[in-house]
Structure 1
Amino acid sequence: MTQPPDDPNHDSKDDQPDDKGADIVDLNAARSGRRSEPEPPVLEGEVLRVDQPGPSRTDWRASLERKATTRQPIIPLWLRSRAEAIETLRWAGLHYAHVASYQLVRTPLYAGRLVARAPLGLVRLVSGFVRWTFDLKGEPARIAAVRKSDYDGYLKLSRQRDIRVRARGWMTGLILLGLLVLAVVTVNQPTAAQWGMLAVAVALLGILGKPADRPLINRAVMASEVEKLTSDIVVRALSVLGIAGITQALSKNPKDAIRFVAPITRDGPGWRADIDLPYGVTVADVLDRRKQLSGALRRPLGCIWPEGDPSVHEGRLILWVGDKDLSKTVVRSPLKRASSHDVFKGVPFGNDPRGRLVTVPLIQHNVLIGSQPGQGKTSSIRELAAGIVLDATVEAWFHELKGTGDLDPYDKVCHRYVSGIEDEAIAYAADSLTLLRKEVMRRSAALKALPADLCPDKRITRQIADKRSLGLHPLVCIIDECQNLFAHPEYGDKAGDDAEFIIKLGRALGVVLILATQRPDRDSLPTGISANVSIRFCLRVAGQLENDMILGTSAYKNGIRATVFVPEKDAGTGYLVGATPMPKVVKAAYLNTPETQLIADRAYALRKARGTLSGHALGETPEQAAPSFDLLADILAVVPPSEAKVWNETVVDRLAELRPDAYGAWAALEGGAKTAQLTTALKPYGVRTMQVWGTPESGGKGANRIGIARDDITTAITQRDKGKAS
């Protein structure tokens, strides 16, 4: 409202209309412009609001994607695997066959119980029938009405009773008449029918005469009393672990401190709970207290298997509580009755705590197994070896450097085999690695020469492996107790360099190296090997250093700890890394010596039929890898004193001209591989490479490349000769 003109405080200028007239403002445009304007700067002392008002808005597609991760499988997990489905059906068949046999054997006992209980059943039947006919069940109500002098109520109850008794009397008469007719008819029936009717009558009377505390039929299988896992039990267990973050969160907000992101459900033979731990608490904190968690849940330690899900975040805990102690479970190998196997599909290795089969891929991988003595390392190797020998296309090189003959059943199918701890056995294993190195170089050239349509990815496939003439079939080398080789004063350094070379380059060429050790330290397991192996299986070890040597750097810090396993009790159980998307606890299948022998016999028959027996299996003399030439002397022969320094690739080309049989495969390599070959070959002699300026022998521009100094070769020869003399 405007002020009147006679108001002295009124400003007449403000009340006058503009000569140009009023402006019409587009509100939508003004609002959009206001939204696009930059926010004013925050002044000192002013509160900055970082949370936007109103409900949070998320992309509906992202919301659906998150929800999709919780979809339940349409087909049960046990039906997705043929092996698991067969095992489940086999177990169900054996279970019900046992129940049927158990009850069938006890049929005479149950018949005797029915006969003994039939008189009491007859008494109960007659007394119950009489009480029903004369409505004796309502007698207490009528007596109570008399005691209360409720004559009207008594008369109503009496009339009701008379009506019931009259109707039930007629029904009773008809039933008795029917029974009489049935008895007369039965008398004229054959004896078998009479006995049948009598048996049915006795059985019915025996069931009626059953005592309340004595069941007629015994239980064939006693169900284990396992407490159902609930959220209250889980929260109670986590609250007593002594983890400061959980204790503080529960004291401030008992209801929401520990959040369950999915319902607790049955998952295999146990219960699964998906939990978000309080802020700042990681799964590793819970893994440190697995024993305390076992006590809090009142379950054996072998039933408690907490694990993380880093794909979500480090505080996502997946707690699985099994019905049966894993340490008391014997895992049967699917290979015990297999007639053959395909290593390109992996090797069935064992079961996880939930009873699911775990397969280890071998092609394009290398395997490292480590543990303390007596924890099941050798049985793990036996299982892998079973899958290897049952594939007739695989060339097996097995080395057991403990001398106990654990792999002896397989010697009849191996191309190279040795068992022993003496220097001769160690030298044999070192020769095998040298030969494998040469084989890797040969395969590299052979694979490169294959046409693109046969080998588009430059990797060994099943189709290529089946073409025996190409010589590119899978080759698997097992070295058990490899610490005895790598720590050997004479053969160790060279063997370590060869093994590292094979692991790095042989993966795509069908050459697989499987190493097992009970002493995982820097001396017995070179870091170049432990750092490059793709699949690792660690059974019980003593500490963090050994754990990370096998499972990889920071594995212990990330909660993958093989120190949690109980010595001897958890034999055969370990952490498997690299074979599955996430690290997994696995109990390896167990094969005893007679079972291993049967597998080896089937493998021998299979290989003999296909003509793939070779080497040791045919009694041939083992190939010697020790060269009849001196590498250092050959280098001095091709590098004259006038050349103080020379490129590695130049030296390799000259060596190939000097001894084509020995160095021809080196020269076939290209670029960095050729340079690295000479560098690795010189390492055992202590000769180091360096940057060398030079020009190609064929002409061209000068450049800095990896090379050697001739004086270093001369010094190495001198030191070597002095060592021999001493």
Structure 2
Amino acid sequence: MTDRPTDFDTLTEPPPHPDTDPDSPTGPDGQGAEVVDLDAARADRVQYGTLPPAPDAPPVFDTSYEVALDEPDDDADADADADAEASPVPVDPPEPARLESEHGEKRSPIIPTGLRWGNLPATVRRTAGRVAYVAGFHAVRAPWYALQAVWWAIVGVPKLAGRQLRWWWVNEQYILLQQAATDNDPAMWLKLHKEGKATRRWRGIALFFQLIALGIAVLVAVGADLAPVWWAVIAAALIPPLAAYGRPAGRRIIPTAMVSRRYRLLNSDVVLRAYYAAGLGHPDKPNQQVKFGSRLSRDAAGIGSEVLVDLPYGKTFEDAVKARGAIASGLDVTVQQVYLTRDATSNRRHMLFVADRDPLAVPAGRTPLLDGKPRNIWQPAPFGLDERGRRVDLLLLWISILVGAQPRKGKTFAARLLALYAAMDPYVRLTVVDGKDSPDWRKFALIAHRIIFGTMPNRDGDPIEMLLDALREIKAHIQQVNQFLSTLPVTECPDGKLTEELSRKYPNLRVWVLVMEEFQVYYELDDQETNKEIAALLSFIMAVGPSAGVIILSSSQKPGGVGAGDVQRLFNRYRDNHAVRFALKCGNRNVSDAILGGDAYSEGFDASSLPVGKQYRGVGYLYGASDDTPTVRTYLADAADAEKILTAARALRERAGTLTGYAAGQTMAREVRDVLADALSAFQGGSETGLPWTVLAARLAERIPEHYADLTADAISAQLRALGVPSVDVKRDGKALKGAKKAAITAAIDRRQNSAG
């Protein structure tokens, strides 16, 4: 440690990341998001002597200090960093390097953390992966290394000869001779001259015999007609030292496979500067100094630094939250690297965590559901990683979840990730309602009890009537579950509540997941009575459903300003009563407040302030799942991943015999083709009034390949014109193209129904 460092820009290597087991649990089972408790991690460090305990009166550390870091190890650190960045894994808090016995002495653990039984497989995988990568990296470049080595060996021969000549001529004596001449000391000069002549004599003799020996060795090797393998051995013995001698200083022939990342060195002076610059105290005013409740140290995961900060009396945690951007500026880091955690002992104390680099820009990786193993809805679902790289799990039971964001910020992917977890439990029934009629939820037809798309009639029927039937069915299920539970004996249902055993034993007590993608469209229908009925049913399910095992998963890009009168009131009630909210990047603070709730902003959570960029897709605040509000980077499950997971989910349900409803009849081929209804279903939302023939043909081929796989624009044009739909000009991307109007298709359907009646 050093005292009072002043250069914040000093660069240092990070300590190696601890070896951890990626399959280890992140915490005890329970409701809400599960992350490693910060207070518990600090308590562990206090217990094992790596952090001093906080007494009743918090200690004050006035001396500035730096965090002591290990010496850099390029290959080890770089490979560890590359592994962590390429495939993030859930981690447990690492055990301290030393344990404290009952007598107070420090003891190193007998078996290192990375070599313990639970962590050994991960250590072996990491080591093998590192060795394989480094070997492959250098194997590809081996010919280039050989060429460089030969060249620098050739350069090294005259360079070595020159050094030998300088050694023979005793060049190092020149300074002494010059000093004797400068001091006008002839006796010393003559003495040095005689010693130099004598030294050159015997060194010359040594070089003469060295040259004779070298010449004899060359003649013997040439005359002996050695096999090529022996010449290779001689070259392998001579080229490396000659190349090492011939290459320029500071130039490596074989570079490192990876480069270690570097980060700013954080010290207490910098922290104080940041807080004072943010207006959270003053160093010269009485009782306005910022102090520390602990020493600055590395966090449990080794990805940043943390310290307990005591604000001046009268300053609160909320003041620090509001000044988070100014604190980040004072620390000279991005705001995404600064995180504040409330301390339970005082409203003016909090934990400051500063990440070495932007943690939100590091992807969480692919979803663990890709292993195809069955899941249990009664256990937490893996959702992503928080800002400290800890896995965030979310228990879906007994809650309702609202996901909101701007378009293309990861909203649908986040909601679908939780629905995929429910799908992997074969004893969970799913009803999927997609108001935006997108391809994102199409593959859920493999397992869904009911699946509904859009608001316009399609080949499967009228989506609005189907939605009403689905909501009425769930309402009846809720009532039936509550009545059935009341009839069970106390020995089987002691608390009168749904349990895992009961849901497995009785098919009528299955957990039910209702997915409402872009649910706001069903509050804005043309028929106000239908709006009211849908709103009333959703409000009932929201209020009563969770206790009966009905999980609501809602998503919306328009969480406010929907409907009017009773519809608006019911919409707001439905939106506001979600127990858990996940807000990704929002357009403004009002939208963020509508998703997270009004109290979130005062606590420092504004989804409109989340960073923008492709690397930040899937990043959002998980609010209401636990006492903490982690900033979560969700796992990724793209369309191909979702199809793979849902295919495995269907196989699990077929094996368990739990396929019901729509999915149970999914394998039946569609025998009748209704061109008019199919064409009408190709229109997306209410904004499309017409489609060119090329677009219409492409959409039908994508959505209904069993009938329209080879459909062309001319073919669909001919079929619809034969049914009374005229070919007219349709504007598309600023151009007028031939196509069909939605109104014309609807009129043709009405004419057919009237004629049939």
- Bin the TM-score by the shorter chain: 0.5 to 0.7
1:359-508 → structure 2 map (5 Å cutoff): 359-422=393-456, 424-452=462-490, 454-467=492-505, 469-486=506-523, 489-508=528-547
- 1:610-629 to 2 correspondence within 5 Å? 610-619=656-665
Q: How does 1:188-199 map to 2 (within 5 A)?
A: 188=224, 190-199=227-236
Q: 1:399·1:419 contact (CA, 8 Å) conserved in 2?
A: yes
* Equivalent residues of 2:400, 2:546 under 8 A apart: yes
Q: Displacement of 1:355 after TM fit?
A: 3.1
- Secondary structure of the equivalent of 1:443? helix
Q: Aligned partners of 1:481, 1:398: CA distance in 2, in Å? A: 11
Tell me how far apart the structure 1 counterparts of residues 486 and 117 of structure 2 sit (CA, whole Å).
38
Give per-residue Cα distances to partners, 1:234-273, cap 9 Å, x unaligned: 4444444xx4333xx1353899535373324266574233
* Structure 1 counterpart SS, 2:452: strand
SS of alignment partner, residue 263 of structure 2: coil
Q: What is aligned with 1:202?
A: 239
Aligned to 1:221: 258
* SS, match of residue 540 in structure 1: coil
* Matching of residue 517 in structure 1 with residue 556 in structure 2: yes
Instruction: Name the structure, 1 or 2, with higher relative contact order (CA <8 Å, separation 6+).
Output: 2
Task: Map 1:328-339 to 2 at 5 A.
Answer: 329=363, 331-339=365-373
Displacement, 1:506?
A: 3.6
Q: What is residue 645 of structure 2 aligned with on the other side?
A: 599
Q: Secondary structure at the match of 1:274?
A: strand
**CA positional deviation for 1:572:** 1.9
1:652-704 Cα deviation digits (max 9, x unpaired): xxxxxxxxxxxxxxxxxxxxxxxxxxxxxxxxxxxxxxxxxxxxxxxxxxxxx
1:386 and 1:69, CA in 2 relative to 1: closer, same or farther beyond 3 A?
farther
**How far off is 1:592 after superposition?**
2.3
How far is the alpha carbon of 1:460 from its aligned partner? Answer: 3.8
Distance change (3 Å), C-alpha of 1:524 and 1:193: farther
**Structure 1 pair 508–140 and aligned structure 2 pair: CA distance change class (3 A):** same
Distance in 1 of aligned mates of 2:406 and 2:118:
32
Distance in structure 2 (CA, Å) of the matches to 1:333 and 1:82: 25
Counterpart AA for 1:559: G
Name the CA distance, whole Å, in 2 between partners of 1:465 and 1:168.
Answer: 95
Q: Is the 8 A contact 2:385 2:392 kept in 1?
A: yes
Distance 2:446 2:156 in 1: 71
Higher mean C-alpha deviation, range 106-115 or range 215-224: 215-224
TM-score between the two structures when normalised by the length of structure 1: 0.66
Change in CA separation of 1:331 and 1:195 when aligned onto 2, cut-off 3 Å: closer
Partner residue, 1:352? 386
Task: Pick closer, same or farther for the CA change 1:430–1:394 going to 2, 3 Å.
Answer: same
Q: Say if 2:583 is the partner of 1:583.
A: no
CA distance in 2, matches of 1:148, 1:255: 67
The alignment of Structure 1 onto Structure 2 pairs a total of residues equal to: 553
For the pair 1:272 / 2:317, whether they are aligned, the reply is no
Q: CA deviation at 1:309?
A: 1.9
From 547, 559, 567, the counterpart of 2:592? 547
Which residue identity is paired with 1:554? D
- Give the aligned residue type for 1:431: D
Larger radius of gyration: 1
Q: 240, 245, 249: which is aligned to 1:212?
A: 249
Unaligned 5+ segments in structure 1 are 1-62, 621-726
Which residue of structure 1 lines up, in the alignment, with residue 295 of structure 2? 262
CA–CA distance in structure 1, aligned partners of residues 114 and 592 of structure 2: 35
Query: Where does 1:77-92 land on structure 2 (aligned, <5 Å)?
Result: none
Supply the distance in 2 between the matched residues of 1:572 and 1:70 (Cα, whole angstroms). Answer: 39
Aligned partner letter, 1:143: Q
**Pair 1:440–1:172, CA change in 2 (3 A):** farther
Partner of 2:78 in structure 1? none
**C-alpha deviation, 1:383, in angstroms:** 0.8
Structure 2 counterparts to residues 85-124 of structure 1, below 5 A: 97-124=132-159
Judge conservation of contact 2:381–2:418 (CA < 8 Å) in 1.
yes
| Rounded Cα–Cα distance in structure 2 between residues aligned with 1:504 and 1:156 | 107
Q: How far off its partner does 1:565 sit?
A: 1.3
Deviation at 1:346, TM superposition (A): 1.8
Equivalent pair of 2:394/2:625 in contact (CA under 8 Å) = yes
- Residue segments in structure 2 that go unaligned for 5+ positions in a row: 1-41, 52-92, 98-112, 562-567, 667-757
Name 1:13's counterpart in structure 2: none
Contact kept, 8 Å, 2:370 with 2:641, in 1: the verdict is: yes
Which digits, 9 at most, give the CA deviation of each residue in 1:517-542, with x for residues without a partner? 22223737645445543322112234
Change beyond 3 A, Cα 1:70–1:558: farther
Hey, what's the Cα distance between the residues in 2 that align with 1:418 and 1:615?
12
